[in-house]
């Protein structure tokens, strides 16, 4: 079993829709949770960063962490074609050095 | 403010050869991590360098080695290349003083082993 599970998709939605992306994990020691966006043939770009449980909002993006369920989510409101990319969840243990990534979900927003 | 830079952007090698990839961290960052991303997969942690020493290592063989220079730039070396080493190699930098968890990635080096 992988430490971090993420549905690879692909996920295709119409422009303006609300998108929900999710990851589950097995290591209860994870304390830091991140979402990265990766365009084709580019490096991952940090979108959201959350410590422990709770919600964090930044513009059209909301990240949620539920440590009791070992489940994290990223919501994208008013989705745009420019949001089409692969979204990677990543986690780390407090004080640890390495990030553990999910497989990534490939998202397409259709105009 | 320059972000993380990597060179070269693309590389083609044959089995058994050796390769060196280079990374310059974001300005103000002193910690460099390397990741391997196979096609359709998430990045896998190789190792991290801080103060010119390898601080943590992932599940990769000794064929993968690295170095960090006093100016914080870093190299990833892979010996005896295998077909399975074909991947996107990502460098990420962070600042130990600001918390190691926020890592910023470069554009990557795409390695093809024939």
Q: Tell me whether residues A103 and B42 touch, CB distance under 8 A.
A: yes
Using alpha carbons, list the distances in angstroms from residue B4 to B81, B101, B106. 25, 16, 5
Q: Tell me what pLDDT residue B1 has.
A: 64
Which residues in chain B show pLDDT less than 70? 1, 97-101
Q: Tell me whether residues A44 and B105 touch, CB distance under 8 A.
A: yes
pLDDT (tens digit, 9 = 90+) per residue, A19-29? Answer: 999 999 999 99
Q: Please report which helix (H) or strand (E) contains residue A78, including its range.
A: none
Query: CB of B27 within 8 A of CB of B19?
Result: no
pLDDT (tens digit, 9 = 90+) per residue, A31-78? Answer: 999 999 999 989 999 999 888 888 999 999 999 999 999 999 999 999
Query: Most A CBs within 10 Å: which of B94, B100, B101, as the mutation test of the A interface?
Result: B101
Tokens (6 digits) for B52: 């010119």
Torsion of CA B41, B42, B45, B49, to 10 degrees: 120
Residue with tokens 């083609």: B12
Other C-beta atoms closer than 10 Å to the C-beta of A41 total 10
Residue A108 pLDDT greater than 90, yes or no: yes
Other C-beta atoms closer than 10 Å to the C-beta of B81 total 19
Task: Please tell me which of the candidates A43, A49, A92 has its beta carbon nearest to residue B105.
Answer: A43
pLDDT (tens digit, 9 = 90+) per residue, A2-20? Answer: 899 998 889 999 999 999 9
Please tell me which residue of chain A has the smallest CA distance to B90: A43
Residue A107 pLDDT greater than 70, yes or no: yes
Q: Tell me what pLDDT residue B15 has.
A: 98
Q: How many CA within 13 A on the CB side of residue B2?
A: 8
Q: Quote the minimal CA–CA distance from A68 to chain B in Å.
A: 21
For chain B, the first-to-last Cα distance in angstroms comes to 37
Q: Quote the minimal CA–CA distance from B82 to chain A in Å.
A: 22
Q: Please report which helix (H) or strand (E) contains residue A50, including its range.
A: strand A45-51
Instruction: Sort out which chain A residues have CB atoms less than 8 A from B43's CB and list them.
Output: 44, 88, 99, 101
Q: Tell me what pLDDT residue B95 has.
A: 86
Q: What is the mean pLDDT of residues A99-104?
A: 96
Q: Tell me what pLDDT residue A95 has.
A: 57
Percentage of chain B lying above the pLDDT 90 cut: 86
């Amino acid at each position: 079993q992988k430490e971090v599970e993420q549905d690879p998709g692909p996920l295709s939605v119409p422009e303006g829709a609300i998108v929900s992306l999710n990851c589950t994990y097995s290591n209860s020691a994870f304390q830091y949770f991140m979402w990265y966006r990766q365009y084709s043939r580019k490096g991952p770009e940090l979108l959201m960063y959350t410590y422990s449980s709770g919600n964090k909002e930044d513009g059209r993006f909301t990240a949620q962490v539920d440590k009791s369920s070992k489940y994290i989510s990223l919501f994208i409101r008013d989705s745009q074609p420019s949001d089409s990319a692969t979204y990677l969840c990543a986690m780390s243990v407090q004080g640890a050095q390495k990030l553990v990534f999910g497989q990534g979900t490939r998202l397409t927003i259709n105009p | 403010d320059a972000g993380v830079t990597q060179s070269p952007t693309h590389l083609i090698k044959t089995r058994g050869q050796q390769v060196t990839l280079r990374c310059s961290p974001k300005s103000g960052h002193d910690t460099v991590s390397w990741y391997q991303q196979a096609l359709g997969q998430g990045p896998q942690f190789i190792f991290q360098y801080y103060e010119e020493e390898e601080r943590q290592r992932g599940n990769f063989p000794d064929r993968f080695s690295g170095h960090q220079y006093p100016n914080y730039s870093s190299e990833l070396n892979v010996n005896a290349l295998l077909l399975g080493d074909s991947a996107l190699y990502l460098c990420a930098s962070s600042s130990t003083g600001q918390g190691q968890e926020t890592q910023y990635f470069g554009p990557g080096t795409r390695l093809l082993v024939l």
